A and B are shown apart, each in its own frame.
Chain A
């Protein structure tokens, strides 16, 4: 599974869009990019995943560059409840998820 690199922390103002970057330059052609988040003392929550096309669901949008070496998770209108650690994971069909250190997003009023 691809190694991913994320900034350790980010701040975002409440109501504004939060853009969380992730580098995955070693990702292989059959690996998906998955995003999870973990609110303090809870289990991780699935957000979104994609292979090469941009994806959107009720929680977020995922923008993947054409070369697939990086992606950005977008929370369009961040709320205080979006404060969490966000994990970007390159994931093949082995089933295993290998978590990196993630980005701690702090949404501020």
Chain B
């Protein structure tokens, strides 16, 4: 099956710093990737849709200058949390859709803790 990886799996950073999370589709090309965040005991919340070679589309209420998304190739999308604060601590998950398929394949997630 299609495999999506994320790096790092866990990251702890100080308040005010920026953190980059990578999402890779390992055995397929993905023109579209999605970024979600999940708070404890809550459901996944879609943050943005990332299209290769174009600007990401953010969901309402998600600050695009805070959460920078880059989708430079068909197998890599990155999410940068800029000037992180403790309230940004969350589980960040990406997904990718291969061409000709409708289902999304999810990465294992990245646990971000901002001190």
State which of B43, B105, B107 has its C-beta within 8 Å of the C-beta of A99: B43
**With an 8 A cutoff between CB atoms, is A25 at the interface?**
no
How far is A35 from B4 in the complex, measured between Cα atoms in Å? 18
The CB with the most chain B CB atoms within 10 A, among A36, A43, A99, A102, is that of A43
The closest CB in chain A to the CB of B105 belongs to: A46
**Is B44 located at the chain interface by the 8 A CB criterion?**
yes
Q: Which residues of B contact A49 (CB under 8 A)?
A: 102-103
Enumerate chain A residues within 8 angstroms of B93, measured Cβ to Cβ.
43-44
A-contact 0/1 string along B89-115, CB 8 Å cutoff? 001010101000011111111010000
Range class of the B interface residue count: 20 to 34
In the complex, which residue of chain B has the Cβ closest to the Cβ of A98? B46
The number of A-B residue pairs with CB atoms under 8 Å apart is 52
Quote the shortest CB–CB distance from B52 to chain A (angstroms). 13
Residue A81 is within 8 A (CB to CB) of chain B in the complex = no
A13 within 8 A of B: no
B49 within 8 A of A: yes
Nearest B residue to A101, CB-CB: B43
For chain A, residues 15 to 52, give those with C-beta under 8 angstroms from any C-beta of chain B: 32, 34, 36, 38, 41-46, 49
Query: Closest CB of chain A to B13's CB: distance in Å?
Result: 19
Whether B44 pairs with A99 at a CB distance below 8 angstroms is yes
CB neighbours of A36 from chain B (8 A): 106
A95:B109 contact, CB within 8 angstroms: no
- From the candidates B91, B104, B107, B111, name the one contacting A97 in the complex (CB within 8 A): B104
Residues in B neighbouring A38, C-beta threshold 8 A: 44
B→A interface (CB under 8 Å):
4, 6, 32, 34, 36, 43-46, 49, 91, 93, 95, 97, 102-109, 111
